[in-house]
Amino acid sequence: MGGITPLVTTALPLAGSVVSTVRSASTGSNTSAQQAAAQQAAAQQAAAQQAAAELEYKRQQDAARAQLEAEALAYQKQKDAAAAAAAAAALEAQRQKDTAAATAAATALETQRQQEASRLAAEQAALERKYAEERAASDRAAAADAAARQQQAQLAEEAQAREWARQDLLRQQDAEIQRQKEEAARIAAEQARANEIESYRASQEQTLAQLRLSQDAAYQAQEKESQAQLAQLAAAADAAEKRRVEALRQSLSKTRASLGARGVSATDGSGEAILLGLTKDTDSDRQNAQAVDQLKKQAIQQNLDAVKRRNLLEQTQLADRQKLEFLSKYF
């Protein structure tokens, strides 16, 4: 196959050259140039055909060589198969010989084994008769010995039974005494635990009562302080109201006097408007002061309510904590 590749590489450029020459000849306009090109194309085509013929010859040679190699390989396989068959036949003949020898040896061994078994059976029968006689004598002696041991064992069992009965009675008495002691100890422990639980509960209740007392005292003090603050607010509001009324009265008097000095009557539109403006300013100051006082009163009440809520929260927390401590301590 190595000789085909150069022929192919030679034929392919020739064929390409022929195609390009034909194309150039078909596009030219000069007749003489076309003829020259045609001749050149014909020469190139002849060269291509020659290269193709050489390629075909080479391919046929490679095919013939491959066929010869295949025939030689087949012949070698036949020789190897014949040698393997001969070896297998020899192996089978040897195996048959070995099998016959093994069969003869097994037959002789079985005969010897049967003879040995007969001899051993006779010896075993003699030993069995001897052992039977010895067992009969031994059984008679054992029966007499067993009767004596049985009587002795019966006496020992009766004595042991009496001892066990005495020990059982003593153990029952000891167990009853121990049970009574344990019952008394259990009752004492339960009583002590009940007393401890009662004392612990009393201590917790006392702590909770002390907290409530201290909270009530603090709340009453806070309530008194709130009442005092409310009274101060009321007094301050009354004083401020008196000041506003007195200031309004003085302002109205001064304004009327000023209007009279200027010849303006207080009942005129402009005079009345001035007096009404002063009154409205006073009312606005009063409303602002009342709103501020109301906010202060709300703050005082909210502070008092916060104290009450805080006291209730502290009581609840203390009760929950005491409950957890009681459960973890006694359960």
Per-residue pLDDT of the chain (331 residues; tens, 9 = 90+): 444 444 444 444 444 554 455 455 445 455 777 777 778 878 888 888 888 888 888 888 888 888 888 888 888 888 877 777 777 777 887 888 878 777 877 787 888 888 888 888 888 888 888 888 888 888 888 888 888 888 888 888 999 999 999 999 999 999 999 999 999 999 999 999 889 889 888 988 999 899 999 999 988 988 899 899 889 988 888 888 888 888 878 877 777 677 666 665 555 656 566 667 777 877 888 888 888 888 988 998 898 899 899 999 999 998 899 889 888 887 7
CA–CA separation, 65 vs 57, rounded Å? 13
Task: State the Cα angle at 124 between 118 and 125, rounded to 5°.
Answer: 95
Which residues are CB-neighbours of 282 under 8 A, at least 6 positions away?
244, 245, 247, 248
> Are the C-beta atoms of residues 303 and 222 closer than 8 Å to each other?
yes
What's the pLDDT score for residue 176?
Answer: 93
What's the pLDDT score for residue 6?
Answer: 45
| pTM > 0.85 | no
> Are the C-beta atoms of residues 20 and 40 closer than 8 Å to each other?
no
What's the pLDDT score for residue 3?
Answer: 45
CA–CA separation, 291 vs 226, rounded Å? 18
Handedness of CA 167, 168, 172, 178 (dihedral sign): positive
Report how far Cα 239 is from the mean position of its chain's Cα atoms: 76
Residue 287, classed as helix, strand or coil, is helix
Taking CA atoms, 315 is separated from 21, 207, 215, 302, 318, in Å, by 119, 10, 9, 20, 5
Q: Which two tokens stand for residue 291?
A: 């709103």
Q: Which two tokens stand for residue 285?
A: 């100051």
Q: Where are the domains of the chain?
A: 4-100, 212-330
Q: Which two tokens stand for residue 246?
A: 């007195």
CA–CA separation, 209 vs 202, rounded Å? 10
What's the pLDDT score for residue 15?
Answer: 45
